C-alpha cells in the first residue's frame, strides 16, 4: 500500500467586478489569513516559520485552562492564591501588562481568566499557571502537551506569559489552528475575548485588542510583542456570516500591528467569493480497491466543499484526491479513507475529508487472483 493521488482540475471564473481584487502586500514579515469555516488559506507570508510570539502565547495559556475546566479538574469558582512571585514578577513591579492582583490574595479562576484575556495580565497568567501546575515550568509542559494534541507542529512553549525567550516559538499557522480550536471547541469561554473592559482592584482597563474598536466585526483573541519578535496579534472577525482568522507578527510598533491586521481582514472580506464545488453526496472521485467485487470505490463528502475565488479573476485550481492505496477489500461504507486537497498556485487552499459512498465487498477468487496478478506486475 502506498500514497495514491488522483488528479482533478477546476477552471472556475467569476464575473469581472468593479472591486477587482489587487495582489495584497503587507509590511508584516509573518502573516496569515484563513477562512474559519473551510480552513481555506486566503493569504500567507512566512506562515510556517517559527516566530517569537511574545504574549500571544497567552492564547495557549487560556486553552490549557479551558481544557482543565472541561476535563473536570478545575471550576470557574475555584480560587488560587497570588504568590509573591506572580505579584513581583508579573504585577505592577514588573512594568509589564498586569491585572494588579494583590499579593497573597485569593482570586477566582474566572477573574484570573478575565485578567489574562482582557488585560493580558502577566500576574494573572502566572497565578493560573502556579495554581494549576505548581510552577510556570510545569505549566509549560501542559502547554506543550496540549500543543501536540491540537496538532501544532512548529511551536514550543516555555512559560505562560510570553516573557522574552528565544526558545519560545510559534508559527502563524499554529496560532490560527489554536484560535480555531478555541472558537470551535471552547465556545462557552470565547465570550471573554470580546469583553471590552475589566476592572480589578478598582483599576479599569480596556481590552488590549485594537481590532475590537474598529468597524470590522472583530470579536477577540490575543496581542503580543517582544524586543526579539516585534509586534503581533491573532484576531478574529465576522462579516455577513463569514469568520476570518488573521495573524500578523514582526511589526515595528502597535500602530503598524493594528493597521496591517485591519488591512488584511478588510482585503479578505472584500476580495473573495465562495464557490461550492461539491455538495454533500456528490461523487468527488474514486479510490482503487484491491481484491474487491469492484475495482473502485466512489468517494463523497458529508459537508459542502467550498473554495474561495478572487473576485474579477479566472483562476485555475489544482486538486488531488490523496489516500493510502489501493484500498483493501472489504471496504466499509461511510469510511473516511481520503482527502481532497486543492491548491491555488503553490498555496494549499482546501483540505477536506472524503468518505466511501458505498461498501465494497470482498471479490470472488478469480477477481482476487486478477488483482494479485496486477499487483505482482
Mean pLDDT of 246-270: 98
Max Cα-Cα span within the chain: 82
Q: Report pLDDT digits (tens) over 100-153.
A: 999 999 999 999 999 999 999 999 999 999 999 999 999 999 999 999 999 999
Comparing 86-95, 183-192, 202-211, 217-226, which segment has the lowest mean pLDDT? 86-95
224 Cβ partners below 8 Å, 6+ apart?
Answer: 53, 54, 55, 56, 57, 58, 162, 231, 232, 233, 249
113 and 235 together in one domain:
yes
Indicate the pLDDT class of residue 274, thresholds 50, 70 and 90: confident
Q: What is the pTM of this model?
A: 0.85
85 and 7 together in one domain:
no
280 and 245 together in one domain:
no
365 Cβ partners below 8 Å, 6+ apart?
Answer: none
pLDDT at 258 over 90: yes
Instruction: Write the CA distances from 297 to 16, 30, 131, 320, 369, integer angstroms.
Output: 39, 42, 53, 16, 19
Which of 271, 293, 320 is where one domain is finished? 271
What is the rounded CA–CA span in Å between residue 148 and residue 6? Answer: 30
Q: Report pLDDT digits (tens) over 162-182.
A: 988 889 999 999 999 999 999
pLDDT at 187 over 60: yes
pLDDT at 11 over 50: no
201 and 254 together in one domain:
yes
8 and 38 together in one domain:
no
C-beta neighbour count of 355 within 10 angstroms: 18
Indicate the pLDDT class of residue 236, thresholds 50, 70 and 90: very high
What is the domain range of residue 266? 30-271
Scanning the structure block, which residue is given the C-alpha cell 503587507? Answer: 26
Of 252, 221, 228, residue with least CA distance to 50: 228
Q: Report pLDDT digits (tens) over 277-326.
A: 899 999 999 999 999 999 999 999 999 998 888 887 666 778 899 999 89
Whether residue 22 lies inside any domain: the answer is: no
What is the rounded CA–CA span in Å between residue 235 and residue 44? Answer: 15
229 and 298 together in one domain:
no
240 and 331 together in one domain:
no
Where in 87-217 does DSSP place strands (E)? 106-108, 197-200, 203-206
C-beta neighbour count of 30 within 10 angstroms: 27
Whether residue 53 lies inside any domain: the answer is: yes
188 and 116 together in one domain:
yes
User: Helix and strand tally (H, E) in the chain?
Assistant: 8, 18
Burial, 165: exposed, middle or buried (Cβ in 10 Å; 0-12, 13-18, 19+)? middle
Strand, coil or helix: 353: strand
Which of 271, 305, 322 is where one domain is finished? 271
Amino acid at each position: 500500500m502506498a500514497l495514491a493521488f488522483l488528479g482533478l482540475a477546476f477552471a472556475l471564473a467569476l464575473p469581472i467586478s468593479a472591486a477587482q481584487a489587487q495582489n495584497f502586500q503587507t509590511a508584516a514579515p509573518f502573516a496569515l489569513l484563513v477562512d474559519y469555516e473551510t480552513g481555506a488559506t486566503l493569504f500567507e507570508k512566512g506562515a510556517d516559520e517559527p516566530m517569537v510570539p511574545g504574549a500571544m502565547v497567552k492564547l495557549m495559556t487560556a486553552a490549557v485552562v479551558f481544557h482543565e475546566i472541561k476535563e473536570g479538574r478545575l471550576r470557574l469558582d475555584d480560587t488560587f492564591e497570588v504568590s509573591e512571585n506572580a505579584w513581583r514578577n508579573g504585577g505592577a513591579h514588573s512594568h509589564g501588562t498586569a491585572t494588579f492582583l494583590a499579593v497573597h490574595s485569593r482570586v477566582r479562576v474566572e477573574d484570573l481568566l478575565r485578567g489574562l484575556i482582557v488585560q493580558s495580565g502577566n500576574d494573572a497568567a502566572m497565578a493560573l499557571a502556579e495554581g494549576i501546575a505548581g510552577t510556570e515550568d510545569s505549566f509549560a509542559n501542559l502547554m506543550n502537551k496540549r500543543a501536540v494534541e491540537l496538532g501544532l507542529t512548529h511551536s514550543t512553549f516555555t512559560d505562560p506569559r510570553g516573557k522574552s525567550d528565544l526558545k519560545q516559538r510559534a508559527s502563524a499557522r499554529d496560532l490560527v489552528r489554536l484560535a480555531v480550536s478555541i472558537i470551535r471547541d471552547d465556545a462557552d469561554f470565547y465570550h471573554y475575548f470580546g469583553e471590552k473592559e475589566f476592572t480589578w482592584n478598582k483599576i479599569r482597563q480596556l481590552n488590549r485588542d485594537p481590532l475590537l474598536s474598529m468597524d470590522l466585526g472583530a470579536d477577540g483573541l490575543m496581542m503580543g510583542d517582544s524586543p526579539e519578535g516585534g509586534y503581533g496579534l491573532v484576531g478574529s472577525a465576522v462579516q455577513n456570516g463569514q469568520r476570518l482568522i488573521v495573524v500578523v507578527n514582526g511589526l515595528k510598533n502597535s500602530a503598524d500591528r493594528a493597521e496591517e491586521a485591519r488591512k488584511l481582514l478588510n482585503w479578505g472580506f472584500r476580495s473573495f467569493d465562495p464557490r461550492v464545488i461539491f455538495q454533500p453526496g456528490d461523487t468527488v472521485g474514486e479510490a482503487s480497491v484491491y481484491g474487491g467485487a469492484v475495482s473502485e470505490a466512489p468517494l463523497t463528502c458529508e459537508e459542502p466543499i467550498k473554495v474561495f475565488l478572487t473576485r474579477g479573476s479566472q483562476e485555475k485550481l489544482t486538486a488531488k484526491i490523496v489516500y493510502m492505496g489501493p484500498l483493501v477489500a472489504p471496504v466499509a461504507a461511510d469510511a473516511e479513507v481520503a482527502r481532497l486537497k486543492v491548491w491555488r498556485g503553490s498555496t494549499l487552499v482546501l483540505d477536506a475529508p472524503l468518505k466511501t459512498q458505498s461498501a465494497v465487498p470482498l471479490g470472488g477468487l478469480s477477481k482476487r487472483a486478477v488483482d494479485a496478478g496486477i499487483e505482482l506486475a
